[in-house]
Amino acid sequence: MKKSFIFLLVAAAFLCSCAIKRPKESVARESYRPDESWRTAAQDQEAAAQVQEDRKNKEMTRRQNDSVSVFKKHLSEELSRSAHPQWLDSLYQSHDYKPFLLGQEGLKPGAIAEYLRKTELHGLDTNYFYLNEIGPRIRDLEEQQDKPASIKYQEKVKLELLMAAALLKYSQAMQYGLISPDSLDKNYFITTQVPDSSKIMRVFNAPDLFLFLDSIQPSSEAYRSLQMALKAGTGAINRNKEDAAQAIKLNMERLRWKNKPDAQKYISVNIPDYTLDVMEKGVSVLQMKVCVGEGRTETDPGGSKETPQLNSMIYSVQVNPIWNIPASIARNEISRYADRDPYYLSNNDIDVYKGGKRISSPEKIDWSTADVSQYTFKQRPGEQNSLGKIKFIFDNNSSVYLHDTPARSAFKKKLRAISHGCVRVEKPKELALALFGPGKTFNQIKSAMDRSYPRAKYIGLPVKMPIYLTYITAWLDDKGLLQIRNDIYGLDLLLYNELKSNQMIAE
C-alpha cells in the first residue's frame, strides 16, 4: 500500500513537470521568429529615394519643357524670315527641338563663320548669310560663360539657329543659285532644276561639314574663270572695273542655275553676243554670227519680238521653206505695206488665203478697211523668201526657229537685234553640214538650196540635236580676256534689282 502511494506521487510530479515546461517551449519557439523591423527601415529609405528620383525627373522634364519652349520661341522668329521655313522646322523637329550643330565635335562657330565669309568670292553679300549677326552672337555666347544656365542656353539657341539658317542658304546658293530665272523673264523656257530639299539639307548630316561645303562649289571652267576675274578686279575694254565686277557677279548667278547642257554635242546661241556655236566635247567646232529678236521699244514695251531663252531638240529642216506669216506680222506690217502698194504681195511672192482658199487677186482688197484676221498669208519659196533657203525646226511654244535670210548685209552690223524673234544664221549650209554630216543627205540639201526653181521639202535629222538659246553677258574668252556684252533685253538689270532688293549681291 505504501509503495503504491509513492508510485502515484512520482507519476503526479512527472505530469506536473510536463505541464510547466510546455509554455516555456511555446515561448522559445516564438523567440525564433525573424525580426522584420530592418525591412521597414529599408523600405522607407527606398521610398524616400524614389520620391527624390521622381522629383528629379519632374524637374528635368520641366527644364526640358522650358528649354523646348525657349527653342521653339527663337525658332519661330527665325522661320518668319526664312525662304524655306518648313525645311528648318522639319530639321529641328527631327532633333527634338534641341541644338545639335554647336555640339558637334570639332565644329566651332568661328570656323563656320570664316568659311561663310568666302561668299564674297562668289559675288554674294556676306550679310545675306547673317555674318553681320553671327559674329556678335559668338562674342555674346563667350561673354555669357559666368551667367546662369538659362541665359547661356538662350544665347546658344540664337547662335545655333543663325548658323543653321546661314548654312541652308549657302547650300542652296552653291547648288542652285538664289533667284528663280523664270520669275524674272516671261520668255525664259530653259529646263532648270528647282531646289531639291533633300540635296540642300545634306549640309546638316554630312560626316564632314567643310568637306561637303567644298564639294558643292560650282566647278565649271566658265564659273571659275569669272571667279578669278572678280577676285583680280579685272576690267574690260568696254567697261570700267566697277561695271565689269557687277556684270561678272550677275553672270556667276546665271552659271549657278541648274540648266546647263549635258550632251557631248549641241548648238548654243548667245543672244546678247549675236553668235551661234556648235559645241562638241566642250569646244566650239563651228561659230557664226546671228541676228536675234528686237528688244523692247516705245511702241513695243512688252518685248514681243525678243528671242526667248529656251532649250529643245532640232529634229528636222525644211529646205526652200514656205513662210507661214504670223498673224501679228500680217496685221502690223504686211497688210499695211499692201495698203500702200497694191502689188506689194505679188511682188514679194506672198499668197493670200481666206477660208483655206487662195485669193487670185489680192491687190483688189482694200486693206485699210479689211478684217486682216480673216486672212492668212504665205510666202512662197525663192530668192525673196524671208526664211532664205533653209530653216531648222525644233519644238517650242514661242514659234521660233533658226533660218537662213536673203538680207545678208544684216550680218555686217554690230548690233543685230533686228528680227521678230527667230534666229537668222550667217552660215546655213555649214550648220546643215554640222547637223547631218557629210554624205548623201547633205548633198541633197545643198543641191536643193542651189536649185533655180525651188520646192519646199522636209528632211528629218538622223539624230536629234540639242539646242540652247541663252543669255550670257560676261565671260572670259580663250585668251583669258573678259568679254562683256550689252544688256539688250534689260535682263541684267532685272536680275541685279532682284539680287539687290534681297541683299544678296556684294557691293
CA angle 312, 460, 422 (to 5 degrees): 45
CB 233 within 8 A of CB 196: no
pLDDT at 375: 97
Q: Say which of 84, 122, 291, 422 is annotated catalytic.
A: 422
Model confidence pLDDT, tens digit, residues 235-274: 888 899 999 999 999 999 999 999 999 999 999 999 999 9
pLDDT at 26: 44
As a whole number of angstroms, the distance between CA 69 and CA 66 comes to 5
CB 220 within 8 A of CB 466: no
**Residue 166: pLDDT above 50?**
yes
φ, ψ dihedrals at 214, nearest 5°: -65, -40
pTM of the model: 0.85
As a whole number of angstroms, the distance between CA 334 and CA 378 comes to 11
**Residue of 468, 465, 415 lying closest to 293 (CA atoms):** 415
pLDDT at 39: 60
Task: Please give the average per-residue pLDDT across 486-501, as a whole number.
Answer: 97
pLDDT at 236: 86
More confident residue, 193 or 27: 193
As a whole number of angstroms, the distance between CA 45 and CA 38 comes to 11
More confident residue, 13 or 455: 455
CA 392 to chain centre: 31
Q: Say which of 84, 122, 403, 420 is annotated catalytic.
A: 403
Residue 422 bears catalytic tag: yes
Identity of residue 357: K
Q: For residue 377, give the C-alpha cell.
A: 498669208
As a whole number of angstroms, the distance between CA 401 and CA 390 comes to 11
> Rg of the chain over CA atoms, in angstroms?
43
CB 454 within 8 A of CB 320: yes
More confident residue, 79 or 9: 79
pLDDT at 49: 67
Q: Is residue 326 packed enough to be buried (19+ CB in 10 Å), middle (13-18) or exposed (0-12)?
A: middle
- Residue by residue, DSSP assigns 144-211 as TTTS-HHHHHHHHHHHHHHHHHHHHHHHHHHHH-SS-GGGT-TTEE---PPP-HHHHGGGGT-SSHHH
**Residue 4: pLDDT above 80?**
no
CB 367 within 8 A of CB 333: no
Strand ordering across the sheet containing 357-358: 323-324, 375-379, 350-354, 357-358
pLDDT at 1: 45
